[in-house]
Amino acid sequence: MKALRVTVGMGSCGLAAGAGRLYEMLESLLLDDKVQFELSVTSCVGMCYAEPLVEVTDKNGSALYGSVDETRLNQIIESHIIKGIPLDDWVVRSDYLKSYEDSFFGGQKRIALRNCGLINPGNINDYIERKGYEALKHIASKRLKPEEVIETVIASGLRGRGGGGFPTGKKWDFTRRAPGNEKYLICNADEGDPGAFMDRSLIEGDPHSVIEGMIIAAYAIGASEGFVYCRAEYPLAIRRLKHAISQATEHGLLGENIAGIGGFSFSLAVREGAGAFVCGEETALIASVEGRRGMPNRKPPFPSDAGLWSKPTCINNVETFANIPWIIANGARAFSAIGTSGSKGTKVFALTGKIRRGGLAEVPMGITINEIINGPGGGLADNHLFKAVQLGGPSGGCLPASLGNTPIDYESLSSTGAIMGSGGMVVMDETTCMVDMARFFLNFTCQESCGKCTFCRIGTKRMLEILERICGGDGCEEDLTLLEELSEQIRRGSLCGLGQTAPNPVLTTLRYFRDEYIAHIRDKKCPAHTCTRLLTYTIDSEKCTGCSLCAGLCPSSAITGEIRSFYTIDSTLCVRCGVCYDKCPFKAIERE
């Protein structure tokens, strides 16, 4: 390795922010014989808020630069790469500079994400250098039996990270004990939570950890064939995963008689899905892998007894598999020492919403909501006030700021009406209307319903209509009772988790933010000033200077008046677009 290495973050988030162009600039710089350095790539570091990211590693250590554009890169090249002088102002992480922002990683414990942002995901040797595939070597050298591997996973306390939180080792044990020699293993990489992009980032950044976890699971349950089910909308993840599978096969880690474990064979393939949210449910996913329409079936039988092609099948998600090599290599006790009594280890969260630092953070179970928001998340953006957080994806629950000290574990979240889900965390401030937020999430689950269950197909549609009515100022108090009744019927009558959890955003907002529903219904007002049809714009004649800017911007000619006098708004013509409110330099427009 050369004395100087420059690494560009080339995950989906980095590429979307312009990292590809930065890489090209650095490539062209290598043509200059006067500048010598090793150019490498990595994937998502987790600091999605600071993309694009460029890291310079020299004899003193590394400095990671954030929000790098072409102008900044030219200055980094001139100062740090050529002259060896780091530019402290742009450093977001460093192991030798004092000025960097360390709070994003300060409270984290990275197990699933241990290699993300630190290795080239396209190079198996990078993974091996960081003790990759050591867990497989441990199993082979110690000649551990499948039952012993399962016992280790059970003792670790690892629970499925896909949402339900079922004990991973028990699921493996059920599949192993199921009758029959033909068994299958599936990795669910199609988590449908729009905010929970950790599965994609894990595969893009460290595909071999997922592959190693799957090989270990296959050995434990007795499967010789496995599939990674990934949505086709993740082309970079699919490309890197297929490349990693090819590399693992070349290294004798996949195929016949692999990994030094006598008589063990395991092949792995990728199956691309169409991005249906319902395929996060096991039986719907299996149907899609088989080439059928992704729709759930009634359970039992469970997949561990009759899954893919009616054979015993074990399904875990990406994050679950990524934890397995660490557990085998470090021991069950090391993992179970992290977290709470019922929720062991760490959890990856996709932070988004009204916070300063959005991205991926892996924290110990038991950390509070406030600690995540104010730690890795950096607190609320633009000095706004923390109002609520939505946990668990589109079918999760909305919790108020007053519950900010709730520990993040399966039991504590369940008691509040929220769920762990796959790890989405949407932070909201005082400008967010909770009625509209419930409508937004229900609209998503309504559209994603496969249509098999009448309760889910029709019930969510009726609930959405009621919420739209309330947001539009046409609701009545009886609607609240009807929402609660429909919610209970949908939860009890739906086949799968999509329908059973779809009412959660509505039920939790009714529970914690009922006053906002009442304001929409009784007062015809939206306290957050979000619901357009309930807004009224007026002009304060004392503040108005008669500049006419608002009149010129109004798309419906609702604002009239005389220059250097004052203007008024005709509410019957106003379309409530808010342009005048946003653009008035004298803050003369009032909104109620």
Beta bridge partners of 407: 368
Fold of 346-429: Ubiquitin-like (UB roll) (3.10.20)
What residue segments make up the domains of the chain, in order of their start? 5-101, 124-336, 346-429, 434-523, 535-591
- Here the tokens at position 327 are 């557990």
- Residue 213 pLDDT greater than 90, yes or no: yes
Task: Give residue 23's pLDDT.
Answer: 97
Q: What is the pTM of this model?
A: 0.93
pLDDT single digits (tens) 237-252 = 999 999 999 999 999 9
Phi, psi of 554 (to 5 degrees): -65, 120
**Cα dihedral value 146, 148, 150, 151, nearest 10:** 160
Termini Cα distance of the chain: 63
* Sign of the dihedral defined by the CA atoms of residues 188, 190, 196, 200, in that order: positive
pLDDT single digits (tens) 453-500 = 999 999 999 999 999 999 999 999 999 999 999 999 999 999 888 899
pLDDT single digits (tens) 384-432 = 999 999 998 888 899 999 999 999 999 999 999 998 887 889 999 999 9
Say if residues 236 and 16 touch (Cβ distance below 8 Å).
no
Asked which of 91-105, 178-192, 508-522 is least confident by mean pLDDT, the reply is: 91-105
pLDDT single digits (tens) 280-328 = 889 999 999 999 999 999 899 999 999 999 999 999 999 999 999 999 9
- Residue 158 pLDDT greater than 50, yes or no: yes
- What Rg, from alpha-carbon coordinates, does the chain have? 27
CATH no. for 434-523: 1.20.1440.230
- Residue 107 pLDDT greater than 90, yes or no: no
Task: Give residue 195's pLDDT.
Answer: 47
Task: Give residue 77's pLDDT.
Answer: 95
Nearest Cα neighbor of 199 from 215, 213, 217, 185 is 213
Beta bridge partners of 122: none
Vertex 438: Cα angle to 432 and 440 (nearest 5): 85
Do 124-336 and 434-523 share a fold? no
Asked which of 7-11, 29-33, 69-73 is least confident by mean pLDDT, the reply is: 29-33
Superfamily in which the 124-336 domain is placed by CATH: NADH-ubiquinone oxidoreductase 51kDa subunit (3.40.50.11540)
Distances 256 to 111, 176, 251, 385, 454 between C-alpha atoms, Å: 30, 20, 12, 58, 47
- Here the tokens at position 577 are 């677009």
- d(CA 190, CA 36) in angstroms, rounded, equals 41
Beta bridge partners of 58: 61
Q: What is the largest CA-CA distance in the chain?
A: 91
Three-class secondary structure assignment of 38-59:
EEEEECCCCCHHHCCCEEEEEC
- Residue 197 pLDDT greater than 80, yes or no: no
Q: Which CATH entry fits the domain spanning 5-101: 3.40.190.10, 3.40.30.10, 3.30.70.240, 3.30.2000.10?
A: 3.40.30.10
Amino acid at 91: V
Phi, psi of 58 (to 5 degrees): -125, -165
Task: Give residue 424's pLDDT.
Answer: 87
What DSSP string runs through 434-489? HHHHHHHHHHHHHHH--S--HHHHHHHHHHHHHHHHHHTT---THHHHHHHHHHHH
Mean pLDDT of 262-272: 94
- d(CA 422, CA 191) in angstroms, rounded, equals 7
Task: Give residue 592's pLDDT.
Answer: 87
Task: Give residue 101's pLDDT.
Answer: 60
DSSP letter assigned to residue 302: P
Mean pLDDT of 218-244: 96
Residues 6+ apart with CB under 8 A from 371: 107, 363
How many residues comprise the chain?
592
- d(CA 109, CA 333) in angstroms, rounded, equals 16
Say if residues 397 and 84 touch (Cβ distance below 8 Å).
no
Asked which of 100-104, 214-218, 240-244, 418-422 is least confident by mean pLDDT, the reply is: 100-104
Share of the chain above pLDDT 90, in %: 86
- d(CA 110, CA 45) in angstroms, rounded, equals 11
Q: Which CATH entry fits the domain spanning 535-591: 1.20.120.530, 3.40.50.20, 3.30.70.20, 3.30.530.20?
A: 3.30.70.20
- d(CA 421, CA 397) in angstroms, rounded, equals 10
Task: Give residue 446's pLDDT.
Answer: 93
3-state helix, strand, coil split of the chain in percent (to 5) is 45, 15, 40
**Beta pairing class for 537-539 and 386-391:** unpaired
Query: How many other C-beta atoms lie within 10 A of the C-beta of residue 426?
Result: 27
pLDDT single digits (tens) 349-373 = 999 999 999 999 999 999 999 999 9
Mean pLDDT of 584-592: 94
Task: Give residue 591's pLDDT.
Answer: 92
Q: Indicate the average pLDDT of the chain.
A: 93
Nearest Cα neighbor of 141 from 305, 241, 261 is 261
